[in-house]
Each structure stands twice: as C-alpha cells, then as structure tokens.
Amino acid sequence: DAGGGTFLRLHQAGARVKDLKLLSITHFHPDHASELPALLWSGTLSGMKNLVVSGPSGSKAIPGLKDFLGSLFNAKTGAFPWSKLSGRKPKLRAVETDFKSKSPVEIYKDGNLRVTAVGVPHAKLPTLGYRVDIGGVSVGFGADQAGTGTGYKGFSRAFVRLVQGVDVLVMHFAVSEEVKRGPIRFHAKPSVVGKIAQAAGVRTLVLSHLFKVDGNPNFSLSNLESNLAHLKNHYSGTVVLAEDLKCIEVKKIAKKQ
C-alpha cells in the first residue's frame, strides 16, 4: 500500500524509489493509496524504468485500479496528467484483479519472487489480501478485512487458504473486541484476527493498523492489553506489534516431527 508517510519512510529505511518494481494496493481508501502520486513523481525524477501496480477490480459504486489510475494520471482529466510530468516517465503496467475471486490469482512473478492475491471482505469496498513468496520464505498481508457471515462473526476461508503456512502474517488490528456496529463492517475483531492466524497455521503474527480515537472504545488502542488477550485466546503463536521502521526477520522455521 501507499498511505500517508510511505514516501518518507522509504527514504528513512534507506530504500530508493527508483528500485521499486511492484506496488500492490489493497484498496483505495486514502490511508492506503494517497501517496501513489508522490511515489511516481519521485520515480520520474530518479530514473525509475518500470513499475507494476496491482489492485482490485471495481464495483458499481467503486472504481477499480485502472479507473483509479486514470483519475490520477489521465492526460486530459487526471489530477496529475502523466504526459505532462517532467523527467523520464517509468512505464506503468496495471494488474487489476477480480476482488470477488476466491482462488489465488498470480499478479506478479520475477525470479524467485511470486505475489498472489484473493478478495477479502471490507464492507462493500473492493479489497485484496496478498501473499508474497520469495527465496523459500513467505509473508501474508491481510489488508483491511472484516469477518464474514451473520454479524461478521466468521472470517474469509479464501484468505486463510491463500496464506496457509506463511512464515509471517501481517494483519490489521484496528477495532476492539467490544465494537458492535460501524467499524465492524470494515475490520475484524481481535478474536477473529486470532482465529484467522490460527486457522492459517502461521507462527508469527504481526499486528499493524493500530487505531485510537480519544473517548471511543471501538478501536484497538482503547484497551490494547484486553484486546490482545482476546486475540491470544484463539492464537498460540508469536505476536508482534508493528511500528514504523521496525525490522522483522522472516525465516523458515523447521517444523517439529
């Protein structure tokens, strides 16, 4: 994703925008996609040659990846007309994936790097979850996703199949266990996050997208200790709280015989 702060954090991490080969967008809420123009602007100035951008297809109400990119970069109607940008413009390739897909779709492959995706529930907003396999290790990215079924108490079996056995699973931990309406249509409760990780058989769960609104008990940081306890009631592996610029080693752990 490319939400607020992505450009700055890439620089602070010592990465170079010109080296980006793939940018996978989960969905088009501003906190996940608003810095795409800044990244591409930097790419035109720094010598980026090619970039694959992946994202979900659209619905009747929400545009898909190609329309989203058009709204930003169309030469006549875009907010940042691509043909008028200075510098050598990288070649963009948009890979739009059906967000209704329940089977993994390969969106990118380069050497020992393979990226696959399936649709995940995020209210009615087209959204993708991703799996990255590289050099014998794997990482799953849950994106913003709610549970499914009556009252959103279940979870996406398609996503569990996608990330089955990954070495590290990154899940968003936005809402509290007590949430009853509103945000529950968009985000899974801590207990559901735990169930997803346990069902997928992952050994390390990284919790990101921690959220707080002062005076509002619906979000995860309103009572982090309690919400973590609800998660751990359903998940027996290692839990790590994500922080900007935190490094997490991804390695294959031999399974006990």
120 and 36 housed in the same domain: no
The pLDDT value recorded for residue 231 is 96
Domain boundary among 48, 75, 97: 97
Give the contacts of 248 (CB within 8 A, at least 6 positions apart): 168, 204, 206, 240
Q: Can you give the length of the chain in residues?
A: 257
81 and 111 housed in the same domain: no
When pLDDT is averaged across residues 221-237 and rounded to a whole number, the result is 95
When pLDDT is averaged across residues 112-122 and rounded to a whole number, the result is 95
When pLDDT is averaged across residues 145-164 and rounded to a whole number, the result is 75
Residue 197's closest CA among 226, 240, 252?
A: 240
Residue 186 within a domain:
yes
* Number of compact structural domains in the chain: 2
53 and 122 housed in the same domain: no
How far is 47 from 51, CA to CA, in rounded Å?
11
The pLDDT value recorded for residue 149 is 40
240 and 116 housed in the same domain: yes
How far is 217 from 221, CA to CA, in rounded Å?
8
pLDDT tens digit sequence for 127-151: 999 999 998 999 999 999 987 543 4
191 and 66 housed in the same domain: no
Is 54's pLDDT higher than 60? yes
The pLDDT value recorded for residue 89 is 74
Is there a contact between 50 and 93 (Cβ–Cβ < 8 Å)?
A: yes
The pLDDT value recorded for residue 113 is 95
Helix (H) or strand (E) holding 208: strand 204-208
83 and 119 housed in the same domain: no
DSSP string, 91-121: EEEEEEE-TT--S-EEEEEETTEEEEEEE--
When pLDDT is averaged across residues 208-227 and rounded to a whole number, the result is 92
When pLDDT is averaged across residues 109-114 and rounded to a whole number, the result is 94
79 and 9 housed in the same domain: yes
pLDDT grade, residue 253 (50/70/90)? low
| Antiparallel, parallel or unpaired: β 105-110 and 128-134 | unpaired
38 and 133 housed in the same domain: no
The pLDDT value recorded for residue 153 is 52
Question: What's 23's domain CATH number?
Answer: 3.60.15.10
Residue 226 within a domain:
yes
Measured between alpha carbons, how far apart are the two ends of the chain, in Å? 38
Residue 93 backbone zone (phi > 0: left; psi -120 to 50: alpha; other: beta): beta
237 and 223 housed in the same domain: yes
107 and 219 housed in the same domain: yes
How far is 169 from 161, CA to CA, in rounded Å?
13
How far is 22 from 183, CA to CA, in rounded Å?
30
